[in-house]
Structure 1
Amino acid sequence: MTATAAQLLATGAAQLRAAGIDGAARDARWLLAHALDIDAARLSLVMPDPVGDAPAQRYRAFVDARARHQPVAQIIGTREFWGRRFRVTRDVLDPRPETETLIEAALGLEFATVLDLGTGSGAIILTLLAERAGARGVGADQSPAALNVAVDNARMLAVQDRVQLQQSDWFADIAGRFDLIVSNPPYIAAQEMAALSPDVRHWEPRMALVPDADDGTGLGAYRVICAQARDFLHPRGWLMVEIGGTQGQAVQALFHAAGFDNVSVLRDMSGHDRVVRGQNAQQ
C-alpha cells in the first residue's frame, strides 16, 4: 500500500528521534519537502496525499543520512543565509545564523573593497557584495574544493563579475589593500573537538574548524590575521572576525597588540560574544 506524506513524515521523525537527532520533527519536514520538491511551507497541504515510489525512496535515503548525523544542509545541498540560498557540500562549513552578526556589522560600515579570508562557501563575501552594489572583493581559501563551491554560489547570486576567488594561505597570495577585511577562521582547539556534536565533528571540514598551528587555545588563526592585516588595509580600514563565545577578551588583546584602534566585541542574538572588530590606525 502506498504511504501518504503524513505517514512517511511520522515514520521519518520517529527514526530521527531514535537516532538522537535534535529537532527530529523539524528535520523530517525539511527532508520530506525536499524529496517532494515543494516548499516546506506547502507541506501541510499534501499530508493526506499518497507519495510515489521515487520520492518515497528519496525521502527514506535522506532520513537514513540524517540519522547518521549528516547535516540537513549537506543532504539537500543548500542553506539559507541572510535571505539567500547557498550551495553547501562537505568541503565547506554550513553557514550559521550566528555569522549574520558579522554581516550586519559589516554592512554598517562604508566599504568599496573587501577581502574574506577562509571564504569557504563564500557566504560572507558574496552576501556583502550582493547587499552592497558596486563593491568588489576577494575571497581566499586554502581548499580548491571549497573555492569551487564559492564559484557556484557567486554565479547563483550574480556577483561573479565583482569577486575574485583564489587559493591562498591567509595573506600569502593576496595583493593590494582593502577597505574591509572579514574572516570566520577556524577557532576550535583540537581538544575541544570531542565535545562538538557529531553533525560537526564527523561531517564538516576539520581545516575549517581547527587552526593549523593549534596550541590548545584555538587562537592560532587570529594571531596570523592580526599580525598581517594592517599591511592589507587602507588607512582607517576595518578588520572584522567571528570568534568563539569565550574568545572575546583574548582576540581583543591581539587586535590591540597589532595596533588597531576602536576595538570592540559584538554579541550575537543569543547574547554571546561573536565578532571582534578594529580599525586600522592612521598610516
Structure 2
Amino acid sequence: METIPVHDADALLRSAAARIDATDARWLLAHALGRSQTWLFAHARDPVPADAVARFDALVSRREAGEPVAYLTGVRGFFGFDLAVSPATLIPRPDTELLVELALARLPARGARVVDLGTGSGAIALAIARERPDADVLATDASTAALEIARANAATLGLSRVRFAHGDWYAPLGGARMHVIASNPPYIEDGDPHLAQGDLRFEPASALSSGADGLDAIRVLAAGALAHLEPGGWLLVEHGPMQGADVRALFVEAGLVEVDTARDLEARERVTLGRAPGGAEAG
C-alpha cells in the first residue's frame, strides 16, 4: 500500500518557492489552512492536513499561471485594514494610500463632504470614513458588482454612515457639491503592453485603461470639478508616474488653482491635486 507523505508547512513552502514567490506562497498556505501568518510561523513543523495540502497546491498552480494573490485569497490589506476584493474590483495598492493621506489633510474640521469616484472595493472612501467618522462620505462606481463589494466591506468594517451610489463619474452627484473629490481612475493607455502582463491581466479592464493616452477619465474628472466642488474644495486624482505634467495642465485648464503633484515613496509623480477658487483653504 502506498504511504501518503506527511507534509509540514516548511516543506510545502520550500517546494512552492521553486514555482512562485516565497512571500506569495506563505500567504497562500496561511489561506489554505485558514490561519494567520503569525500562526504559520509558530507551527512551521506541524503536519499539514491532506485537504489543506490539496487546496494549497491548487492555489500555487493558479498563482503560477498569473492569478493575483489578492484574488486567490479574496483579501487585500489597505491603510491598516483588510478589504474583500474580487475580479470585479481593482486590487488596492500602497500608492493609493498617498491619495488618502492628502485627502484627509484637506478636509474641513467640521461638516466635511467627500466623494470617492470610481470606488471599486471602497478603499479610498472607507479609509477616509475610518479616519474621519464625522465626515459625510459618498462612494460611487459605474459597476454594480464593484459597489456590492464596497458595500460589503463597509458593513464588515462597521462603517454604516458611508453612502453608495451607482453611476459614471459625476452623474450620481446631481447638483451636490463636495469639499473633497478623490479618485483613482483608470489611467493606462489602451493597448499598453503592461495590460497583458502580471496581475493586470486579471483585473477589470474598465478600471485600468482610459483612451489612447490614458487620460480620458481624468479629463472628465478635471472638466467637471468646479461644478461639484465647494469654493476652496479640492480635487485629488491618482495617475501614472509619467502623466504628472499632462494632468496638471488639465487641472489648470479646468480652472483649478494651487495645482501640484505629490510623489510616492519611490519619488514618482503619483497624485495631482487642485483647489477650486474662493473660500478658505482647508488643511
TM over 0.5, yes or no? yes
Equivalent position amino acid for 2:61 in 1 = D
Q: Give the equivalent residue in structure 2 for 1:118.
A: 118
For 1:109 and 1:227, the matched residues in 2 are separated by: 20
Equivalent position amino acid for 2:257 in 1 = D
Determine if the alignment matches structure 1 residue 69 to structure 2 residue 66.
Answer: yes
For 1:91 and 1:199, the matched residues in 2 are separated by: 17
Determine if the alignment matches structure 1 residue 172 to structure 2 residue 208.
Answer: no
- 1:1-283 correspondence to structure 2 within 5 Å: 1-16=5-20, 24-111=21-108, 112-160=112-160, 162-175=161-174, 176-192=176-192, 194-196=193-195, 198-211=197-210, 214=211, 216-282=212-278
| Residues 134-157 of structure 1: CA deviation (Å, up to 9, x unaligned) | 111211111110000000111112
For 1:98 and 1:197, the matched residues in 2 are separated by: 21
| Residues 205-246 of structure 1: CA deviation (Å, up to 9, x unaligned) | 0000012xx1x2111111111111111111101100001000
Give the conservation status (yes or no) of the 8 Å contact 2:195–2:201. no
What SS class does the counterpart of residue 237 from structure 1 fall into? strand
| Residues 52-82 of structure 1: CA deviation (Å, up to 9, x unaligned) | 1111111111111111111111111100000
What SS class does the counterpart of residue 230 from structure 1 fall into? helix
Equivalent position amino acid for 1:101 in 2 = L
1:34: how far off?
A: 1.3
For 1:247 and 1:228, the matched residues in 2 are separated by: 19
1:196: how far off?
A: 4.1
For 2:39 and 2:269, the matched residues in 1 are separated by: 37
Gaps of 5+ in 2: none
For 1:195 and 1:70, the matched residues in 2 are separated by: 15
Distance 1:64 1:157, change over 3 A: same
> Could you tell which deviates more after superposition, 130-139 or 84-93?
130-139
1:200: how far off?
A: 3.0
1:197: how far off?
A: 6.2
1:199: how far off?
A: 3.0
Cα RMSD, aligned residues only = 1.3
Number of residue equivalences: 271
Q: Give the equivalent residue in structure 2 for 1:19.
A: none
Gaps of 5+ in 1: 17-23
Regions of 4+ moved over 4 Å: none
